[in-house]
Amino acid sequence: MKLTKTYGHLKKELDMIEHALADAIQAEHDILRETSTQLLQAGGKRIRPVFVLLCGQLGEYNAERVKTAAVSLELIHMASLVHDDVIDDASLRRGKPTIKALYGNRTAMYTGDFILARALENITKLENPAAHRVLSKTMVQVAKGEIEQIRDKYNWDQNLRNYLRRIKRKTALLIAASCKLGAIASGVPEERAVKLFRYGYYIGMSYQIIDDILDFTASENQLGKPAGNDLLQGNVTLPVLIAMKDPSFDRKLRDTFANPELVTPASMVPLIESLKQTGAIASSYRISDLYLQKALKQLDDIPHHIAKHTLQTIAKYIGKRRS
């Protein structure tokens, strides 16, 4: 089953959000309009809007307010992708040339800033200060997380706490904020909104850990990039940290990256095999599962509702994700 099938019943709402996204990024300048819509047309799972919608449905659902939150969260995510491609010097995203590759860094920077501005302009339609506090704090943390990621590259001596804080900032908080914003937009009581925030946080942690596992276990075809690419870029993820407890792998890793600029996708192949033999993949899945269990636990007190059921299904789907 595809992830999108778990929230198939949201098609009407998601179509509305898709239209609102397209409207939000209509620029006056031809090329800016083209670059802004390019990423939108490339699609994506729209997982953040989905969480906003589902959590919004657990309160007094107001389609307009929930849509506002969903659109802004997706725009923030899109803007970060455009800038990430400049950071990573990436040529392809979702199998298509990046804005940076087609138009250069300058245009990509302007596009990202334009989309982010539209996200913030749009979210001010929500006058609830709590919504802005949640989102702005999240955005600061996300930016800090990305800066930390640069700092921690090729740092083999970092610990598990570093990694967990990084993925919290990089992935989990924006999903948590999506859940909470949906709840706030629909007037879900604070205590329950906090639980939904935590649900999103735990789901985000689990999702990112599995993403980091898949970097080693999925095929190049599935990933759209060579296996082990994160490690090749110097990103030390959970499977690597666990595998490094094996002295033999630790030595191999440090030897391989003695000169990072000389490491190629081909030289990663034996290293990945060695990592798999340490049992690090299974251990990483176990940690991901712990987060998933915690996510599901947050939903215990929420009364029966199709949105609750979908949040549970998404969590289970994420746990089973293998590609």
Partner 1 sequence: MRVVVLQTSSIEINSVKALIHEKIHNSLIEKHVQIPYLNDDKLYILISILNNTPLPDAKKKNYIIATMLVQMALDIHDGVPETNECQQHDDEEKSKQLSVLAGDYYSSLYYLLLSEVEEIELIGVLAAAIKEINETKMQLYYKMNNEMFPLTMQHIKKLESLLIIRVADFTGETLIRDIAAEWLAVRKLAAARCRRDRDNNVMSSDIWDDHIANKDHQAIASFLKREIKAINNHLIQFPAHLAGLGAELKDTLNESLSDNESIAEEGK
> Would you count residue 180 as binding partner 1 (CB under 8 A)?
no
- Which helix (DSSP H) or strand (DSSP E) does residue 193 occupy? helix 190-217
Selection from 268, 270, 289, 278 nearest residue 241 by Cα = 278
Question: Letter for the amino acid at 289?
Answer: D
- Would you say 28 or 300 has its CB closer to partner 1? 28
Selection from 189, 89, 102, 184 nearest residue 138 by Cα = 184
Least distance in angstroms from the C-beta of 13 to partner 1: 24
- Would you say 105 or 162 has its CB closer to partner 1? 105
Least distance in angstroms from the C-beta of 121 to partner 1: 4
Stretch in the footprint of partner 1 (CB under 8 A) among 24-32, 50-58, 171-179, 265-273: 24-32
Place of tokens 């030897």: 255
Q: Are 48 and 79 in contact (CB under 8 A)?
A: no
> Would you count residue 107 as binding partner 1 (CB under 8 A)?
yes
Count of alpha carbons within 13 angstroms of residue 317, beta-carbon side: 14
> Would you count residue 113 as binding partner 1 (CB under 8 A)?
yes
> Would you count residue 171 as binding partner 1 (CB under 8 A)?
no
What is the dihedral sign for C-alpha 219, 292, 83, 234?
Answer: negative
End-to-end CA distance of the chain: 12
Q: Which residues pair with 96 in a beta bridge?
A: 93
Question: Letter for the amino acid at 179?
Answer: C
Rounded to the nearest 5°, which phi and psi values hold at 244? -70, -10
Rounded to the nearest 5°, which phi and psi values hold at 246? -85, 115
Residues contacting residue 195 through CB under 8 Å, at least 6 positions apart? 298, 299, 301, 302
Least distance in angstroms from the C-beta of 77 to partner 1: 13
> Would you count residue 277 as binding partner 1 (CB under 8 A)?
no
Least distance in angstroms from the C-beta of 269 to partner 1: 25
Q: Are 86 and 113 in contact (CB under 8 A)?
A: no
- Would you say 49 or 112 has its CB closer to partner 1? 112
Stretch in the footprint of partner 1 (CB under 8 A) among 141-149, 164-172, 182-190, 264-272: 141-149
Stretch in the footprint of partner 1 (CB under 8 A) among 39-47, 124-132, 218-226, 271-279: 124-132
Interaction mask 192-231, partner 1, x per CB under 8 A = ----------------------------------------
> Would you count residue 29 as binding partner 1 (CB under 8 A)?
yes
- Would you say 126 or 299 has its CB closer to partner 1? 126
Residues contacting residue 305 through CB under 8 Å, at least 6 positions apart? 57, 58
Stretch in the footprint of partner 1 (CB under 8 A) among 133-141, 174-182, 280-288, 300-308: 133-141
Length of the chain: 323
> Would you count residue 143 as binding partner 1 (CB under 8 A)?
yes
Rounded to the nearest 5°, which phi and psi values hold at 290? -60, -40
> Would you count residue 160 as binding partner 1 (CB under 8 A)?
no
Stretch in the footprint of partner 1 (CB under 8 A) among 120-128, 164-172, 204-212, 278-286: 120-128
Stretch in the footprint of partner 1 (CB under 8 A) among 60-68, 106-114, 171-179, 293-301: 106-114
Q: Are 130 and 187 in contact (CB under 8 A)?
A: no
CA-atom Rg of the chain in angstroms: 20
Q: Looking at 106, 286, 297, 322, which residue binds partner 1 (CB under 8 A)?
A: 106
Binding site for partner 1 (CB under 8 A): 27-29, 31-32, 80, 83, 86-87, 89, 104-107, 109-114, 116-121, 123-124, 127, 129, 132-133, 135-137, 139-140, 142-144, 146-147, 150-151
